[in-house]
Amino acid sequence: MMNANTILKSQLVSAHGSAPKKVTHINYDSRKVNTNGCFVCISGKSTDGHKFIEMAISQGCVQIIGDQQDSLLEHAERSPHVQFLHVKDSKKALALYSSHLHQHVHKSMRLIGVTGTHGKTTITAYIRSLLNGAGIKTGSIGTAGVWDHQKMLPLDKSTPTTPESSDLHAYLSLMKKKDISSVVMEATSIGIDQERLYGLHFDIAVHSNLYPEHLDYHETFENYKKAKLSLFEKAGTSVVNIDDAGMSKDIISVFKGTLWTYGLSDDADVHAKNITFSKRGCCVDLIVKGRLFSVFLPILGVHNVYNFLASVCVCLAKGMTIGDLLPLFQKLEGPPGRLQLIPEFANRTMIFDFAHTPLALEQLFKTVEPLSYNRLILMITGIGIREKSLRAPIAKAAEGRADEIVVTADHPGEELPIDIVNDVLDGFETIGPQIHPVPNRGEAIKKAMGLTEEGDLLLITGICMENFQIVKGRKVPYYDYDHVKAFLNSSRNSRERELELTESDGAVYQS
**What is the rounded CA–CA span in Å between residue 358 and residue 204?**
34
Q: Is the separation of the CB atoms in 129 and 450 below 8 Å?
A: no
Residue 289 confidence (pLDDT): 93
**What is the rounded CA–CA span in Å between residue 163 and residue 155?**
11
Residue 500 confidence (pLDDT): 61
Please compute the mean of the pLDDT values over residues 137-161 and round it to a whole number.
Answer: 91
Non-local CB neighbours of 38 within 8 Å, separated by 6+ positions: 23, 25, 26, 27, 61, 62, 63, 64, 65, 97
Percent of the chain with pLDDT over 90: 82
The tens digit of pLDDT for each residue in 105-127 reads 999 999 999 999 989 999 999 99
Higher pLDDT, 34 or 464: 34
Residue ranges of the alpha helices (H) in 299-416?
302-317, 322-325, 358-368, 391-398
**What is the rounded CA–CA span in Å between residue 291 and residue 339?**
29
Instruction: Specify which residues 38 forms β-bridges with.
Output: 26, 63
CATH 3.90.190.20 in the chain: give the residue spans: 340-484
Q: Is 266 helix (H, G, I), strand (E, B) or coil?
A: coil
Q: For residue 187, is pLDDT > 70?
A: yes
Please compute the mean of the pLDDT values over residues 443-448 and round it to a whole number.
Answer: 98
pLDDT confidence bin for 501, thresholds 50/70/90: low
CATH 3.40.1390.10 in the chain: give the residue spans: 4-100
The tens digit of pLDDT for each residue in 57-110 reads 999 999 999 999 999 999 999 999 999 999 999 999 999 999 999 999 999 999
The tens digit of pLDDT for each residue in 196-212 reads 999 999 999 999 999 88
Residue 511 confidence (pLDDT): 29
What type of residue sits at position 316? Answer: L
**What is the rounded CA–CA span in Å between residue 241 and residue 254?**
15
Instruction: Give this prediction's pTM.
Output: 0.86
Using CA atoms, how far residue 135 sits from 183, 229, 256, 435, in Å, is 14, 31, 30, 48
Comparing C-alpha atoms, which of 385, 395, 381 is closest to residue 463? 381
The tens digit of pLDDT for each residue in 208-247 reads 999 888 888 898 999 999 999 999 999 999 999 999 999 9
Residue 281 confidence (pLDDT): 92
The CATH number of the domain covering residues in 4-100: 3.40.1390.10
- Angle 302-317/120-133 helices, nearest 10 degrees? 50
Percent of the chain with pLDDT over 70: 96
Using CA atoms, how far residue 18 sits from 57, 67, 81, 84, 423, in Å, is 15, 19, 7, 9, 58
Comparing C-alpha atoms, which of 146, 148, 138 is closest to residue 181? 138
Q: For residue 508, is pLDDT > 80?
A: no
Non-local CB neighbours of 238 within 8 Å, separated by 6+ positions: 204, 205, 206, 207, 232, 251, 255, 257, 258, 259, 260
What is the phi/psi pair of residue 287, to 5°?
Answer: -110, 120
- By CB atoms closer than 10 A (0-12, 13-18, 19+), residue 454 is exposed
**What is the rounded CA–CA span in Å between residue 449 and residue 457?**
10
**What is the rounded CA–CA span in Å between residue 506 and residue 501?**
8
The tens digit of pLDDT for each residue in 169-186 reads 999 999 999 999 999 999
Long-range CB contacts for residues 328-331, cutoff 8 Å, separation at least 24 = 328/129, 328/130, 328/133, 328/134, 329/295, 329/296, 329/297, 330/296, 330/297, 330/298, 331/129, 331/133, 331/298
Q: Is the separation of the CB atoms in 445 and 460 below 8 Å?
A: yes
Residue 496 confidence (pLDDT): 65
- Angle 165-177/90-101 helices, nearest 10 degrees? 20
What is the phi/psi pair of residue 64, to 5°?
Answer: -125, 130
CATH number assigned to the domain with residue range 340-484, chosen from the 4 options 3.40.30.10, 3.40.50.300, 3.40.250.10, 3.90.190.20: 3.90.190.20
Higher pLDDT, 354 or 501: 354
Q: For residue 507, is pLDDT > 50?
A: no
Higher pLDDT, 308 or 465: 308
What is the phi/psi pair of residue 8, to 5°?
Answer: -95, -15
The tens digit of pLDDT for each residue in 239-292 reads 999 999 999 999 999 999 999 999 999 999 999 999 999 888 999 999 999 999
pLDDT confidence bin for 498, thresholds 50/70/90: low
Q: Are strands 110-115 and 202-207 parallel, antiparallel or unpaired?
A: parallel
Q: Which residue spans within 136-268 are E strands per DSSP?
A: 138-142, 145-147, 182-186, 202-207, 235-241, 258-263
Residue 1 confidence (pLDDT): 63
CATH 3.40.1190.10 in the chain: give the residue spans: 104-331
Residue 73 confidence (pLDDT): 97
Non-local CB neighbours of 53 within 8 Å, separated by 6+ positions: 30, 39, 41, 64, 66, 71, 75
Radius of gyration of the chain (CA): 26
Q: Is the separation of the CB atoms in 408 and 440 below 8 Å?
A: yes
The tens digit of pLDDT for each residue in 326-357 reads 999 999 999 988 898 898 999 999 999 988 88
Average pLDDT, the chain: 93
Reduce the secondary structure of 391-410 to three states and give it as a string. Answer: HHHHHHHHCCCCCEEEEEEE
Q: Is the separation of the CB atoms in 261 and 247 below 8 Å?
A: no
Q: Is 23 helix (H, G, I), strand (E, B) or coil?
A: coil
Residue 420 confidence (pLDDT): 97
**What is the rounded CA–CA span in Å between residue 22 and residue 138?**
33
DSSP string covering 50-108, please?
GGGHHHHHHTT--EEEES-HHHHHHHHHH-TTSEEEEES-HHHHHHHHHHHHTTTGGGG
Please compute the mean of the pLDDT values over residues 32-38 and round it to a whole number.
Answer: 97
What type of residue sits at position 367? Answer: T
Instruction: Specify which residues 472 forms β-bridges with.
Output: none
**What is the rounded CA–CA span in Å between residue 8 and residue 247?**
34
Q: For residue 503, is pLDDT > 80?
A: no
Q: For residue 509, is pLDDT > 50?
A: no
DSSP letter for 152, please.
B
Q: What is the CATH architecture of 104-331?
A: 3-Layer(aba) Sandwich (3.40)
